[in-house]
Chains A and B, each alone.
Chain A
Amino acid sequence: MPLSLLIAIILIIGVVGYVLGRRRAMASAGGDSRGLHSLPVYYGSNVLLSVLVPAFAFIIIALIVIPLYIDTHVSAMITEADIGEGSSLGLVMAEVRRVAEGLDNAVAMGAISDEMARNAGANASDMAQRLRDAGQVITGEVTGNILAAAQEYRATSKILHVGMIVMALVIALGGFAFGYRRTEKDFRARNVVERVILAILIAAASVAILTTIGIILSLIFNTIEFFRIYPFTEFFFGLNWSPSFSGRGGSSELGFVPLLWGTLYISFIALSVAVPIGLFAAVYLSEYASPRVRSVAKPALEVLAGIPTIVYGLFALLTIGPMLTTVFGRDGLGWMGGASSVMTAGLVMGIMLIPFVSSLSDDIINAVPQAMRDGSLGLGATKSETIKQVILPAALPGIVGAILLAASRAIGETMIVVMGAGAAARLSLNPFEAMTTVTAKIVSQLTGDSDFSSPEALVAFALGMSLFVITLGMNILALHIVQKYREQYD
């Protein structure tokens, strides 16, 4: 039975439970809803939730646990001999899963019978050939043991799947019986339903938090792994970034400093573009623009924020880069080697951040109470004096927060850097030279075909972790500042 059918059946049980629960509550009050503790809908909802919540919780847990169990169970069957030179248990298990899936598909297509697929004595190479004939993708060499493991895989997953369906239905019916029997006129259905809904809300919030923790943990383990094989000090204080992909370790120099420098330099240029322009735009829009101009200009500016960064990257690569080269390149001032440079990426990233800064600042400036403007104008100040001396100082903490948020976006930006700044890690002051950033290097270290346990690949996690810590710190600072600003007027 497919999962969707199971879910549909449980939903039907729930809806039936809703109707019956409601009817039973009404009956227990002699048909007069005023005799009930709660409104009739709560009695129905109580039965509905008693059916759905435990059953769905069970299904979710089962869907997570079953594959894990099958994997450990089946991988116990794989011997050292099955894991060939240069291979690993993970690769062999992938092969086992492919064969199991191939068998399923072949049976479904009618290419082989189910008995044949389950036949423990089947010849491995013969079976592999049949599967290939049936159009299934079987890459490696299928040994007898792998075939046996695949068959075991199919058998266990089938049993567990059926078990899960039966169990889920039993739980749903049990929930129905429990909820239905509790229904009578003095039962506090409203309180119970509200408590269950609270629990669901808490669960949703926990998912968000647990995901964050999961991300951090996955980074931490690999980062620790990296620092076991690569010295801590050489990473944080190394002035050279030159990973070698051919030799395993040894000759690589993985210094963080040039990448951090590139990141900060590009971010600095981006902010030098975005902050003044964004701020001036915000002042114009919130203080001077007529409602008509504002209603057109504000959405137009915010459209910029919706453009995917890859499009900005193209703009950097195809427009800004060549434009800068004609002025600063070999034919011009001669400061610039190619189209890729810190300046190219920084300018484009600055353009990307303008709407970010302007729309946050606009909100903050608008939040300054009208009474401040009236007070200043009433003293004979002009509009621009009012903005300079009252509104901007009052909004300053919020604006600083907005800038910090923009900065952490600049630091985390990848696509524009990959396409606009080049790939060479370099410690240089010349903004017309190509440099690269932490994010761009994370991408290139992981997308290469280097071994996943080599320092060249693991360094990506250390880089990610460092970046995470930097941006987290900036976000916390920004939130703190914005919070303090909020307390000022309430």
Chain B
Amino acid sequence: MYDTPKSGVDVDAREVKISARGVQVFYGDTHAIKDVDVEIQDKMVTAFIGPSGCGKSTFLRCLNRMNDTIDICRVEGNINLDGENIYDAKVDPVQLRAKVGMVFQKPNPFPKSIYDNIAYGPRIHGLAKNKADLDEIVEKSLRRGAIWDEVKDRLHAPGTGLSGGQQQRLCIARAVATEPEVLLMDEPCSALDPIATAQVEELIDELRGNYSVVIVTHSMQQAARVSQKTAFFHLGNLVEFGETGQIFTNPEDPRTESYITGRIG
């Protein structure tokens, strides 16, 4: 029914999708991200964990230049997507965001029909030649979002009428519809109940087959369940970055260890 994820592939063999070097972010005088280096690989889930206010969202928003929409925010350093600097003057941030999709903490469907929510991105970017084409994109995206069966009979009902978990999967499907290469998710489950969370986690695991996924989460169990690599942020610094299993069972940095044990134990 869904595109089957190609799981079990050797972690290190995959190509680097995004590489960040010496990234600094300032909000006015606040130094929110301090000299962060990260490599995000393709077809894999990377989790960002860390205490509140440590800069996870800020760093995530650098990856699709959403920080450009905040007046006082300033980004320094290099972030390359497929070897090309996304902060280069040549790059149109609007085009970039179509390639690097984003899912937010609170489900934010537009006050339009389910169909129009999904068709929004494809219409803006001219991805469909005609109505039949668009119908197909909508169906494919809803299937990818693992919500097709629940909404196929009411595509023209408002998206805001769905339950929280359905809304979040709708938002994931909406992000998928513009055919991004990377999906950024900022605490996508924090507004959801446990059952909806499990559904979204399952979905993230499936998405890994086609996309490079970066997920911010405050739940360490979630990071352990869905990600292959984990980055631990603390006070704007990237403290530790490595394979998820490694980070959770045998962290190198004492700060990582105390955070993990403090929260889990």
Contacts and interface: CB of A to CB of B under 8 A. Distances in A.
Contacts of B106: 371
A25 to B, nearest CB: 50
A382 interface: yes
Given A379-B98, A380-B94, A380-B97, A393 B104 contact: no
B125 A380 contact: yes
Contact of A394 (B64, B102, B111, B121): B111
Nearest to A390: B110
Interface string B71-83: 1000000000000
Interface residues of B, number: 28
B112 interface: yes
Interface string A357-392: 000000000000101111111111110010001100
A371 B110 CA distance: 9
B66 interface: yes
A393 B108 contact: no
B91 to A, nearest CB: 12
Interface in B156-192: 160, 171, 174-175, 178
Interface in A138-192: none
B30 interface: no
A380 B121 contact: yes
B62 to A, nearest CB: 13
A212 interface: no
Interface residues of A, number: 20
A138 B110 CA distance: 75
B101 interface: yes
Interface in B119-152: 120-121, 124-125
B95 interface: yes
Contacts of B95: 380
Contact of A380 (B71, B98, B108, B112): B98
Nearest to B107: A371
Interface in A390-410: 390, 393-394
A374 B178 contact: no
B69 interface: yes
Interface string A275-316: 000000000000000100000000000000000000000000
B174 A379 contact: yes
A427 B124 CA distance: 48
A366 to B, nearest CB: 16
B104 A371 contact: yes
B102 A378 contact: yes
A246 interface: no
A385 B124 contact: yes
A211 interface: no
Nearest to A291: B71
Contacts of A374: 66, 69, 102, 104, 108
B181 to A, nearest CB: 12
A379 B174 CA distance: 8
Interface in B167-219: 171, 174-175, 178
Contacts of A378: 64, 66, 97, 101-102, 104, 175
Contacts of A393: 111-112
B108 A379 contact: no
Nearest to B111: A394
A59 B64 CA distance: 72
Given A378-B101, A380-B97, A389-B124, 10 more contacts: A371-B106, A374-B102, A378-B64, A378-B97, A378-B102, A378-B175, A379-B175, A381-B121, A389-B120, A393-B111
Interface of B: 64, 66, 69, 71, 94-99, 101-102, 104, 106, 108-112, 120-121, 124-125, 160, 171, 174-175, 178
Pairs of residues from A and B, 4 with the lowest C-beta to C-beta distance, nearest first:
A380-B98, A378-B102, A371-B108, A380-B97
17 contacts: A372-B111, A373-B69, A375-B108, A375-B110, A375-B171, A376-B120, A378-B64, A378-B97, A379-B102, A379-B174, A379-B175, A380-B97, A381-B121, A381-B124, A385-B124, A389-B120, A390-B120
